[in-house]
A = this chain, B = another copy of it.
């Protein structure tokens, strides 16, 4: 943001990796534009530029502003995809359309949601959170009471452990980033530190776990380490400034940044302090990672470092050779993103992407890589590192360790596996069409 007027740098379009990847420093200063790298704009003859053509919307009084505004009718495709649109008696998933979004915030209307028994219609005047078990004084909290406490505001991603499950297929499915990775979103959450509430209740030093239970009809419950509760857990009551969405836990949810999505228990009604984990259905039957050989991990809380390219990606079309910005999101349950590399040649060579500041703990970081597409086939990939030194595994490494699913099942929902965090590859052909490939 610090380009100084009239003091542009010498154009710098050094290539940093194969197939047209440009040094990210070209994103600063006048490099890209002055060197004519863009070519995306239309040129106008001097005469044609004035007067401008007045479209109908410039000639008539527009519509009335509504109390709550919604997206333009031209954005009707920017919606969550639904796995259970008729509300049948089973799980339902609503996936975030990452290939149609940008920046880092997921707007509330489009935040992903999974519900096991539909979305409960909770009256905040009646709903209570009880903290009990191994505490000196059991306490209960309404939304109004929590609102009086000191609040913490932070960006955090929430990701279902089953996000990206379609990537376990041994054949790449021809679907969008929404279908592959739509069970992760990123929002600004505001809530009370869980440590404040546990301190007030006087948690017993021998209590090592909390059973967190939701008020939905399945009483979804998970065991949460007390250590995590004191590290950075919140009882969140606001999402991007307004009270939580009904599908995201209204009126209150647990937020355990970086941990499996369903540990962020929605509609939170109970935290019971105990001295051992509860081994609930949702941590033994469901959400247990199956490993090759049939064993499972007992607990696997942390969502690993991951990235995927959203632009361009499946569903997009490159109209012509020329300049494009390769862009996507990276995040890690272990902390901040340290580095993202991008390849345009299927991993033969890599260049370092620019990270949009501020790079925040356990939150989306948008990365960008300038790219000149020469009209020849290319394979686009991203690979992320976090500040704890974790690296997003290559696909061959990942499949060797974690297995893959033999049948390319029709519905991505039927894949059994969890915690996919390997690389996504988009192949651009000479016509600008984009396919999902394994490379």
Interface residues of chain A, those whose CB is within 8 Å of chain B, are 1, 3-6, 8, 27, 30, 32-34, 36, 38, 40-46, 48-50, 52, 55, 57-75, 78-82, 84-87, 89, 92, 94, 100-111, 113, 115, 117-128, 130, 132, 137-142, 145, 147-154, 188-190, 193, 195-197, 199-200, 205, 215-217, 219, 226-227, 229-232, 237-238, 240-243, 245-248, 250-251, 269-270, 272, 311, 322-325, 327, 356, 358, 360, 366, 368, 370
Copies in the complex: 2
**Known contacts A240-B105, A241-B101; is-contact A70 B69 (Cβ 8 Å):** no
Complex contact B40–A216 (CB within 8 A) = no
A61 to B233 Cα, complex, angstroms? 29
A141 to B269, CA, bound (A): 51
By the criterion CB–CB under 8 Å, are B151 and A240 in contact? Answer: no
Main secondary structure of the interface of A (DSSP, over half): loop
Is there contact, CB below 8 Å, between B62 and A217? yes
- Given A103-B190, A107-B107, A230-B5, A121-B63 contact (CB < 8 Å): yes
Task: For the complex formed, measure the closest distance between the CB of A187 and the CB atoms of chain B, giving whole angstroms.
Answer: 8
24 contacting pairs across A/B (C-beta < 8 A):
A1-B152, A5-B229, A6-B230, A33-B200, A34-B199, A44-B139, A46-B132, A50-B132, A52-B128, A55-B127, A58-B217, A60-B217, A64-B84, A64-B86, A64-B87, A68-B109, A72-B246, A75-B243, A78-B242, A101-B241, A103-B240, A107-B242, A110-B242, A148-B322
